[in-house]
Amino acid sequence: MQLLITSIGFGLVQAAILSISAMGFSLQFGMTNVLNLSYGSLMTIGAFLTLLISEQGISIWLGVLVGAIAVGILTLIIGRVIIRRFANRGSRLFEMAIVTVAIALIIDYIIAAITKSAIFQFLFPLGSNHRILGMVFTTTQLDIMAIAVVTIIALELVLHKTNLGIAIRASAANGPLARASGIPTNRVVRLTWFVSGVLCGLGGALLAVTYLSVSFVEGTNYLPYILAAVVVAGIGAVGYAALASLILALVIEIAGSFGAGSYNVVIAVGVLLLMLLVRPKGFFGELWEKSEAMG
């Protein structure tokens, strides 16, 4: 029983990281219609930047912030310099996905060459242990979950309670109509690339801080979980991606407590394939579309 409770506790921590990452991916795809498979590789950059800053004796949380912003800027550059050119040539979803795979491979192998494929360890105090409902969390884990909750609430408020959010959702739903209505869609797209990149970098940094290590395939190995969470929620259903992340993370961690820990990726990919087969819009896709129509 204690093992199950411990698994639920770690599942909550995993859900925090996954929700941030999945929301960023869902926001980007929903807005740009680009299946950005370099997302995991960009997460790795955020993780390594966090490590580099923490090794200088600077606060780990400042490293997380810098890593998130840096990946946001890099994602914006990729979107404007590379993705936009292919989009202007009329490249479709599959072609764009191949382009992002190429970007991912370039990033992964550049990092591998620089780091010589080594695994690096984080060295910083995790804080005290805190027992909550039978689950034990370190101070760092509680901080990670708090960051996730704040991020989810802030993003949902922006998307649904501000003019900017209305512009983002309108541009995602019908770009030409949004432009005709006077919405600066190009600016909105640029902002979306940046914000989704910040969430990507933040997810990568928090992932590394949780496992206290980072390698050149850190984010790439995490990508199947993100894709599964996004598909379970429904493509573009940004807010529901957090709920789907919680469900998926708990399922994986609880399954691990029964001896299936070695099959985490298999479970994630299995969920992904099953959802695509029986409910391509995801569990919450239709709810999202209704809320968009009402908004």
Residue 185 CB burial class (10 angstroms; 0-12, 13-18, ≥19): buried
Helix orientation angle between 238-255 and 264-278, rounded to the nearest 10 degrees: 130
Give the Å distances, CA to CA, from 173 to 25, 89, 253.
Answer: 17, 22, 35
Report how far residue 134's alpha carbon sits from residue 254's, in angstroms, rounded to the nearest whole number. 15
Report how far residue 105's alpha carbon sits from residue 92's, in angstroms, rounded to the nearest whole number. 20
Report how far residue 229's alpha carbon sits from residue 246's, in angstroms, rounded to the nearest whole number. 9
The pLDDT assigned to 289 comes to 40
Residue 49, SS3?
helix
Residue 168 CB burial class (10 angstroms; 0-12, 13-18, ≥19): buried
Report how far residue 188's alpha carbon sits from residue 167's, in angstroms, rounded to the nearest whole number. 7
Taking the CA atoms of 138, 141, 145 and 146 in sequence, report the sign of the dihedral they define. Answer: positive
pLDDT 10s per residue in the chain (295 long)?
Answer: 677 788 889 889 999 999 999 999 999 988 888 889 999 999 999 999 999 998 888 889 999 999 999 999 999 999 999 998 888 888 888 889 999 999 999 999 999 999 999 999 988 878 888 988 888 899 999 999 999 999 999 998 988 888 888 888 777 766 777 777 778 878 888 899 999 999 999 999 999 999 999 999 999 999 999 998 998 887 767 878 888 899 889 888 888 777 776 778 888 888 788 877 776 666 655 433 433 333 3
Cβ 120 vs Cβ 51: under 8 Å: yes
Beta bridge partners of 137: 130
The pLDDT assigned to 149 comes to 95
Element (H, E) at 126: none
Return the number of other C-beta atoms located less than 10 Å from residue 137's C-beta. Answer: 21
Is the pTM higher than 0.85? The answer reads: yes
Token pair in block for residue 224: 């199947």
Q: Residues 6 or more apart from 34 whose CB is under 8 A from it? A: 28, 79, 83, 87, 93, 96, 100
Q: Residue length, the chain?
A: 295
Return the number of other C-beta atoms located less than 10 Å from residue 277's C-beta. Answer: 8
Domain ranges, ordered by start, for the chain: 2-217
For tokens 């370190």, what's the residue? 138
DSSP string, 254-281: HHIIIIIGGGHHHHHHHHHHHHHHH-TT
End-to-end CA distance of the chain: 44
Report how far residue 210's alpha carbon sits from residue 225's, in angstroms, rounded to the nearest whole number. 16
Cβ 225 vs Cβ 269: under 8 Å: no
